[in-house]
């Protein structure tokens, strides 16, 4: 088998480096990441010791990717195109196709065709499989000689402390490739397993020893609401006087997944880009009267606790950091993808 230095990985749509970090934990040599969001540069490079290229994938010349590979390298190209447009939260087809993100998977295909990597990984929301754009992506790979497999993954089954479901596709020209199976004997990790013991915070407070461990203030009525919220419960636990007007209508009964408090004894809900806002999901702390802190969201996304998202002295905004953390591929899912690629290389890559 070729030595690890001859195996090179480039990460498209890399963000702050969740996937890259996981692949590196699995022993893969990630040399560069490409993303159009320049705010991700510091975190990506500082934590992963790989080059960040600020670039719009739709306008990128594939030669810029190829320059990170040598002629005889085993070339691995990975990517998670922004997925909001394929999410079940985007209800109307006409809204999807108007979104620029709709075509990003096609640009990923173009780069694959020009770079001709040996191995590919693509991660996205499960809903993507319902659309022609996914079928075309998969068909192109098969026509180019790739062995392709894909799976809808429940991250909690792989030991992540989050009920996140993701589509993971793997493709290889070396031979058959599949995602490794979860260990059925491995205990599912819960919110308590990873968050218990972090410093106490009031709503609007910042931990003096960790500036990422901070949460927004709550309005007076939301303080009353969260005090009446039970772990794993809904707003049905509140006094009627605390209900928003829309929830008092019969149609309001469908809004059961907002204004919730998480349970210590279960994995968390899916982290979105607004996990720090109490009213956007089940993001209330299990026992403290506040929403999740930015650090807690990062931990539930399985980023290492020492992962730095900004330089000392930088201005911190919830919107930017929430987007960076919520959009990331969970690090431990990246590690599972990396371990699957390593197993594949052991089987097929011989001197």
Tell me the HSE value of 252 on the side-chain side, using a 13 A CA sphere. 12
DSSP, residue by residue, 81-146: ---GGGSTT---HHHHHHSGGGGHHHHHHHHHHHH--SEEEEEE-GGGGGSHHHHHHHHHHHHTT-
Helical packing angle, 104-115 and 132-143, nearest 10°: 0
- 349 carries an active-site annotation: no
Q: Which residues pair with 153 in a beta bridge?
A: 166
Separation of first and last alpha carbons in the chain: 5
Element (H, E) at 52: strand 51-54
Q: Collapsing DSSP states into helix, strand and coil, what is residue 221?
A: helix
Structure-block tokens of residue 253: 């009964």
295/285 Cα distance (integer angstroms): 13
Catalytic residue among 14, 40, 83, 349: 83
HEC secondary structure over 130-184:
HCHHHHHHHHHHHHCCCEEEEEEEEHHHHCCCECCEEEEEEEECCCCCCCCCCCC
Catalytic amino acids?
A: 83
């Amino acid at each position: 088998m070729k030595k690890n230095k001859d195996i090179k990985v480039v990460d498209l749509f890399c963000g702050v480096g969740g996937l890259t970090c996981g692949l590196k934990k699995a022993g893969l040599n990630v040399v560069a990441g490409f993303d159009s969001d320049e705010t991700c540069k510091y975190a990506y490079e500082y934590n992963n010791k790989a080059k960040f290229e600020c670039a719009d994938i739709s306008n990128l010349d594939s030669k810029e990717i190829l320059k990170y590979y040598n002629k005889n390298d085993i070339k691995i190209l990975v990517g998670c195109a922004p997925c909001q447009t394929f999410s079940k939260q985007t209800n109307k087809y006409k809204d999807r196709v108007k979104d620029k993100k709709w075509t990003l998977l096609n640009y990923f295909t173009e780069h694959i065709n020009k770079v001709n990597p040996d191995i590919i990984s693509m991660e996205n929301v499960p809903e993507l499989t319902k659309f022609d754009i996914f079928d075309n992506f998969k068909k192109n790979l098969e026509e180019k000689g790739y062995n392709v497999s894909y799976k809808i993954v429940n991250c909690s089954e792989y030991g992540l402390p989050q009920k996140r479901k993701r589509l993971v596709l793997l493709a290889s020209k070396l031979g058959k490739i599949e995602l490794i199976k979860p260990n059925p004997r491995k205990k599912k990790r819960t919110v308590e397993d990873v968050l218990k013991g972090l410093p106490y915070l009031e709503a609007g407070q910042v931990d003096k020893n960790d500036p990422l461990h901070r949460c927004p203030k709550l309005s007076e009525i939301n303080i009353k609401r969260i005090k009446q919220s039970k772990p794993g419960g809904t707003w049905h636990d509140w006094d009627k006087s605390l209900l928003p007007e829309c929830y008092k209508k019969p149609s309001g009964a469908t809004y059961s997944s907002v204004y919730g408090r998480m349970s210590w004894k279960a994995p968390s809900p899916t982290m979105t880009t607004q996990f720090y806002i109490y009213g956007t999901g089940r993001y209330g702390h299990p026992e403290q009267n506040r929403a999740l802190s930015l650090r807690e969201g990062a931990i539930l996304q399985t980023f290492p606790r020492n992962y730095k998202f900004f330089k000392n002295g930088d201005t911190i905004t919830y919107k930017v950091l929430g987007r960076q953390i919520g959009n990331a591929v969970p690090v431990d899912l990246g590690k599972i993808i990396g371990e699957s690629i390593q197993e594949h290389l052991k089987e097929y890559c011989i001197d």
